[in-house]
Amino acid sequence: MSAENFDYIIVGAGSAGCVLANRLTEDPAVRVLLLEAGPGDRSIFIHMPSAFAYPLANDKYNWYYHSEPEPFMNNRAMYCPRGRVLGGSSSINGMVYIRGHALDYESWASHEGLENWSYADCLPYFRKAETRAKGGDAYRGDSGPLNVSTGACINPLYNAFIEAGQQAGYAYTADMNGYRQEGFGPMDMTVHKGRRWSTAMAYLRPALKRSNLQVRTRALVARVAFQPGSSPARAVGVEVANGHRIDMIHASREVILCGGAINSPQLLMLSGVGNPDHLRALGIRVVAPLRGVGANLQDHLETYVQYACKEPITLYSAMNPLAKAQIGLEWLVKGTGLGATNHFESGGFIRSEAGVKHPDLQYHFLPMAIQYDGSAPASFHGFQAHVGPMRPTSRGAVTLKSANPKEAPRILFNYMATEQDRKEMRAGIRLTREIFAQKAFDRFRGEAVSPKDHLQTDAEIDAHIREHGESALHPSCTCRMGMDEMAVTDGSGRVHGVTGLRVIDASVMPDVISGNLNAPTIMLAEKMADAIRGKAPLPRSDAPFFVHPDYQTAQR
């Protein structure tokens, strides 16, 4: 048993954990230990943006989770990769930088106890975190650790997608992270000088120069330790599995869980914080009966709308071994070329029907027809749009299979459980077909590859989604903030019913935001870091945001 002691122990060196390690150690009087179950992030396949399919599709840097058979998805076990490496999922994700819509945060702030999570409260922290290559303004940052660049859209297919969106009647937006999310335009990415800019690069590496931060990799935390006899229970450290030995490490101030929407509720339950009936059935002593732990699981489901391309200009040309070698060499020597982009350089946000106040469908465009995780190689020149609903109404859960911390938890998303989710997905496919039918794609558009043109009815489209829908890899909301009986944390990430314990990651979101989750997770970690340090919050923003003036009667 170890006698080590730190002020703060952070469990998980991912998108939130690296932010907290940096911000908390800005105070030289504070000693911080950052624990990561996975290895370091030295792989070329992590740092080359175009190579992200490699860490995404294997278990070396990835928990490699799969769901239980999904009852509304033909009982498929759905792939759920989560980062297990320095930088966490920010080291294996697609590097898309999207903040979500302002009204997402207005919705968060409507909950009791979350009044300071409005868009006006959150926008200053998005700006604090960011340095945008194009420069800052009222919406964008220019001096933060997280470098963000915008796609160059050199391939003509990127601009064809943007132009087709306008021809279909939607607006152009120059910055979907600025005043106006709704519309079609270029997309931002967490890439800097041709390299992935994970939170390990942005936040952790600068902090490693400080003597008050220790980082340990391949350190699996088995459970949070609580002070015997304390009421309410007080977290005083963590137990770390070290081969056949368990090491106890003490935290004099707080233990902070940053494991994400799967691992944070898992660790809470292993530690006795969760649904008491579930814990007792597994022989786990109940420390705090919180029925919401692991509940409210939300994710974005998406599907690919794929077409063959009549001109040989897609990324299929880059898939042969010689081309890959040339791309890799240019990236290694110059940091430029096709290796220096995530290839999601244009996209869009639209509303599925009149009456929807802000976009509920998102697009990522890719000038190639391929599986997102690289699990199936491209076999022809093609292009695709990823489309999916932004605010699903289906709810799942994370539960334990056993009290063994080395056994993966049980994950069930319940994708497509509600008619509303099915309705939005049908609209997504039909509206995407309309966009690809525009004049801008006439010179490029070949036959429909997936879904085939003959799939037209609701039943046929539903069957296609059940067979081909995939996770957009945005699990969230399993330790949600709030003050009601199913809330797990308060507005500062403190776990209800105990002291000395916080959760800070995408699991605390009350509802999933309308977009990718990396940027919002970094924002909330920045905001909660100030709360932990007792610092006054940043001044609220008065920047306005766009809502379609005719949203009640017009779909576009």
Give the active site residues.
Answer: 474
Of 144, 141, 4, 26, give the one whose Cα is nearest residue 532. 26
Of 45, 26, 3, give the one whose Cα is nearest residue 374. 45
Of 401, 408, 351, give the one whose Cα is nearest residue 552. 351
Token pair, residue 242, equals 């070290």
CA distance 15 to 259: 9
CA distance 500 to 502: 7
Task: Describe the strand order of the beta sheet including 96-97 as a list of residue ranges.
Answer: 96-97, 188-189, 146-150, 130-132
Token pair, residue 420, equals 């509303």
Three-state secondary structure of 496-528: CCEECEEECCHHHCCCCCCCCCHHHHHHHHHHH
Question: Exposed/middle/buried for 458, CB within 10 Å: 0-12, 13-18, 19+?
Answer: exposed
160 contact partners, CB below 8 Å, separation of at least 6: 440, 441, 444
Q: How far is CA 323 from the centre of its chain?
A: 31
Of 181, 173, 216, give the one whose Cα is nearest residue 360. 181
Phi/psi region, residue 272 (left: phi>0; alpha: psi -120 to 50; beta: rest), is left
Tell me the residue type at 92.
I
CA distance 430 to 181: 21
Angle formed by the axes of helices 419-436 and 156-167, nearest 10°:
110
Place of tokens 């990127």: 158
CA distance 315 to 350: 26
- Residue 476 has φ and ψ, to the nearest 5°, of -165, 170
Pairing of strands 5-11, 245-257: parallel
Identify the H or E element spanning 365.
strand 361-366
- Give the C-alpha distances (Å, rounded to integers) separating 282 from 262, 269, 274, 277, 402: 18, 10, 12, 9, 6
For 18, the 3-state DSSP assignment is helix
Q: Are 413 and 533 in contact (CB under 8 A)?
A: no
Per the document, the length of the chain is 556
